[in-house]
Amino acid sequence: MRTYVVAYLAAGALFLACDMLWLGLIARDWYRTQMGDLLSPNPSLAAATAFYLLYLVGVVYFAVAPALSSGQWTTALLTGALFGLIAYATYDLTSLAVTRGYPMPLALVDMTWGAVLTAASATAGFFAARAFG
């Protein structure tokens, strides 16, 4: 159990730090431009917290645990990327399907970001679990 807690915390630390940097600094203005009136002026911290807590369970279960079983960090990288792509695509493609004016460039960038961020976080979780779990 300790191994998975360490993986969860390490993956979460990297995920949260990178996502805050991405959303709060690097791509903030681009997201605002893309989303326009769709973007809430006051995001729900409760919903964001619930997303992060639940999503990281998925990262550990679907990417880190198989990598620990195989002993291969590349398993964490690849399954993390696939999990991130599928999860972010669920949101973005559904938004494209049902939301008037949801921009295609935003969907593509967001799905790519989800894949890259989740791959990196799963890999960090794997190495932390191996070292400290």
**pTM across the whole model:** 0.96
Domain count, the chain: 1
The H-or-E segment that residue 107 falls in is: helix 104-132
Per-residue pLDDT, 37:
87
**SS3 state of residue 98:** helix
Question: In the chain, which stretches have pLDDT less than 70?
Answer: none
3-class secondary structure per residue, 7-35 = HHHHHHHHHHHHHHHHHHHHCHHHHHHHH
> Where in the sequence is the domain holding 59, given as residue range(s)?
2-132
Q: Mind listing the pLDDT tens digit for each residue in 58-86?
A: 999 999 999 999 999 999 999 999 999 99
Per-residue pLDDT, 133:
76
